[in-house]
C-alpha cells in the first residue's frame, strides 16, 4: 500500500489557510480551522481515467457549537476544501472533500439534556418493605472495610425517620447480592457516598454512583478522607468525621418535604424522654413546614408522653444544643408538669407558619 504525504502535512496546511483567513479578516472561517482536529482518510478516489493522483477526504472535528454552526452554512465544506486544495502542492495527491464531525460528547450527555427517560427496576412492594422498613430511604454507598461505622450511622439516622440501607448488613445471605443492591438503588429516595480514602477502589461504589445519578435522586458526597471526584464532585458535598456524619447528612435531607413527613411519622416510636430530647434536635433542620406537617408534629406530640415530657420538645435544652423557639408545645403545658398533654396547636407554631 503506497505511503502518502498528505496525512503528515495536513496540520501545516490548515495552519497556512487559517492564517490567510485571518489576514483577510475572515475570522469566522479562521475560527473553524483554528478549533478543528483534522484527520485524513486516504485514497478515497482517483483523479480520473488518465490521472492516478490519490484523492483524500479531510475530516475536521469541531467543538459542538462550531459544528452546529458549520453544518447550516451553505457550501462551507466546499469553500474550505477549495482553499485547502489551492494551497496544497503535494505531488500525486489532492484533497477530495472536507467533512465536518462533532467532537465526542460527555459520558453523561443524555442526562445533561434533561430529556432522558429514567428507567427503574421493577421492585415488588413486599421486597421494598423488606429492604427499607418505613422511613425516608437513604442508600449508603461505602466500602466493606467501614461496615461497623456505617452500621452505627444507620442506627443514628433511624430516630429521625431516615431508613438507611447498608448492603453488608441488610442483605440476607440467601438472596442474590447484586439483585438486592439494585432493588435498593431502584427504590431509594436519596443517595449518600461515604467517601473514605479507598472509596474509588471498588467497582461497586462507582456503579452505585452511576445508578443514583441516572435516577436523579438527591445525592450527597461525604468527605471522610477522600475529596469528591468525577460525578461525585457534582453532588452536594459535606466534610465531617464519623461521629458528626449523621447530623450533617440529616440536615441536608430535611430540605425534602418527604424526609420531614418520615420524621413526623417516626415520632410515634419515641421510647424515652432522652430519646425525645435527641429527636427534637431535628427542629433546627426544618426551615419550612406545611400546615399538615405542623398538624402532624402537634398530633405526634399530643399522643406520646415521651415527647410531651421531654424538655427539648418544650423549648428546653437538647443536651448541649439550645432551643430554636418553635417547639410544638405551650408554656402552660410545661408549667402543669405535662400530666395532661396540650390539645391545641401552640401559638409559637402558628406564628412561625
Structural domain for 277, as ranges: 267-353
What total of structural domains would you count in the chain? Answer: 3
pLDDT, average across residues 239-257: 95
* Domain end call among 102, 117, 137: 102
pLDDT (0 to 100) of residue 211: 87
pLDDT at residue 18 is higher than 90: yes
> Do 192 and 84 belong together in one domain?
no
Q: Give the pLDDT of residue 336.
A: 28
Shared domain for 140 and 232, answered yes or no, is: yes
Residue pLDDT, tens place only, 77-132 = 999 999 999 999 999 999 999 999 999 887 667 767 766 656 667 888 998 999 99
**Nine cell digits for residue 126:** 413486599
Please, which pLDDT band fits residue 207 given cuts at 50, 70 and 90? confident
Select from 207, 224, 253 the last residue of a domain: 253
pLDDT for the residue numbered 330: 38
**Angle in degrees, CA 131, 137, 143, rounded to 5:** 75
Structure confidence at residue 348 (pLDDT):
34
Same domain as 244, residue 282: no
- Give the residue from 34, 68, 102 where a domain finishes: 102
Q: Quickly list H helices, 188-230.
A: 203-215
Angstrom distances, CA of residue 106 to CA of 100, 200, 300: 19, 20, 49
Residues 206 and 304 in one domain: no
Mark whether 240 and 151 lie in a shared domain: yes
Q: Is residue 132 part of a domain?
A: yes
Cα–Cα distance, 268 to 275 (Å, whole number): 11
Tell me the whole-structure pTM to 2 decimals. 0.61
Residue 154, φ and ψ in degrees, nearest 5: -60, -45
Q: What is the pLDDT of residue 279?
A: 93
Give 165-181 pLDDT, tens digit per residue.
987 665 554 457 778 88
Task: Return the DSSP state at 92.
Answer: T
Same domain? For 35 and 93 the reply is yes
- Given a cut of 70, whether residue 271 has pLDDT beyond it is yes
Q: Same domain for 224 and 288?
A: no
Handedness of CA 17, 21, 23, 28 (dihedral sign): negative
CB atoms within 10 A of CB 133: 11
One domain, residues 218 and 294: no
317 φ, ψ (degrees, to nearest 5): -70, 145
> Do the Cβ atoms of 165 and 211 come closer than 8 Å?
no
Return the pLDDT at 167. 78
Say how many Å lie between the first and final Cα of the chain, rounded: 81
259 part of a folded domain: no
Q: Is residue 75 part of a domain?
A: yes
pLDDT per residue as tens digits for the range 225-235:
998 887 777 77
245 and 277, same structural domain?
A: no
pLDDT of amino acid 133: 93
**Residue 68: is its pLDDT beyond 80?**
yes
Query: Which CATH number do you get for residue 218?
Result: 3.40.50.10140
The string of pLDDT tens digits covering residues 296-335 is: 998 998 899 998 888 888 765 544 333 333 444 433 233 3
Residues 231 and 131 in one domain: yes
What integer best gives the mean pLDDT of the chain?
84
Residue 201 reports pLDDT greater than 60? yes
Is 194 among the domain residues?
yes
- Of 70, 48, 51, which Cα lies nearest the Cα of 59? 70
Amino acid at each position: 500500500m503506497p505511503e502518502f504525504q498528505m496525512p503528515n502535512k495536513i496540520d501545516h496546511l490548515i495552519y497556512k489557510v487559517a492564517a490567510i483567513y485571518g489576514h483577510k479578516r475572515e475570522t469566522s472561517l479562521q475560527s473553524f480551522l483554528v478549533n478543528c482536529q483534522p484527520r485524513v482518510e486516504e485514497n478515497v478516489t482517483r483523479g480520473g481515467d488518465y490521472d492516478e493522483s490519490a484523492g483524500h477526504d479531510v475530516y475536521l472535528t469541531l467543538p459542538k457549537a462550531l459544528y452546529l454552526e458549520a453544518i447550516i452554512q451553505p457550501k462551507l465544506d466546499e469553500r474550505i476544501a477549495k482553499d485547502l486544495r489551492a494551497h496544497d502542492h503535494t505531488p500525486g495527491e489532492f484533497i477530495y472533500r472536507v467533512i465536518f464531525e462533532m467532537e465526542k460528547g460527555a459520558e453523561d450527555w443524555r442526562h445533561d439534556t434533561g430529556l432522558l427517560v429514567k428507567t427503574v427496576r421493577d421492585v415488588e412492594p413486599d421486597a421494598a418493605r423488606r429492604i427499607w422498613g418505613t422511613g425516608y430511604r437513604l442508600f449508603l454507598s461505602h466500602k466493606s472495610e467501614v461496615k461497623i461505622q456505617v452500621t452505627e450511622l444507620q442506627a443514628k439516622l433511624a430516630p429521625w425517620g431516615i431508613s438507611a440501607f447498608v448492603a453488608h448488613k441488610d442483605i440476607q445471605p440467601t438472596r442474590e447480592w447484586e439483585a438486592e443492591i439494585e432493588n435498593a438503588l431502584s427504590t431509594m429516595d436519596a443517595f449518600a457516598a461515604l467517601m473514605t480514602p479507598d472509596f474509588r477502589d471498588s467497582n461497586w461504589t462507582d456503579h452505585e454512583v452511576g445508578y443514583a445519578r441516572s435516577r436523579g435522586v438527591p445525592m450527597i458526597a461525604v468527605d471522610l478522607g477522600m475529596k469528591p471526584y468525577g460525578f461525585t464532585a457534582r453532588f452536594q458535598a459535606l466534610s465531617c468525621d464519623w461521629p458528626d456524619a449523621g447530623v450533617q447528612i440529616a440536615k441536608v435531607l430535611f430540605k425534602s418535604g418527604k424526609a420531614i413527613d418520615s420524621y413526623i411519622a417516626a415520632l410515634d416510636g419515641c421510647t424515652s424522654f432522652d430519646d425525645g430530647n435527641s429527636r427534637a434536635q431535628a427542629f433546627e433542620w426544618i426551615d419550612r413546614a406545611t400546615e399538615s406537617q405542623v398538624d402532624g408534629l402537634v398530633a405526634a406530640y399530643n399522643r406520646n408522653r415521651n415527647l410531651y415530657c421531654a424538655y427539648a420538645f418544650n423549648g428546653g435544652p437538647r443536651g448541649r444544643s439550645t432551643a430554636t423557639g418553635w417547639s410544638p408545645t405551650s408554656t402552660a403545658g410545661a408549667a402543669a408538669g405535662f400530666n395532661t398533654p396540650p390539645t391545641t396547636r401552640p401559638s409559637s407554631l402558628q406564628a412561625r407558619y
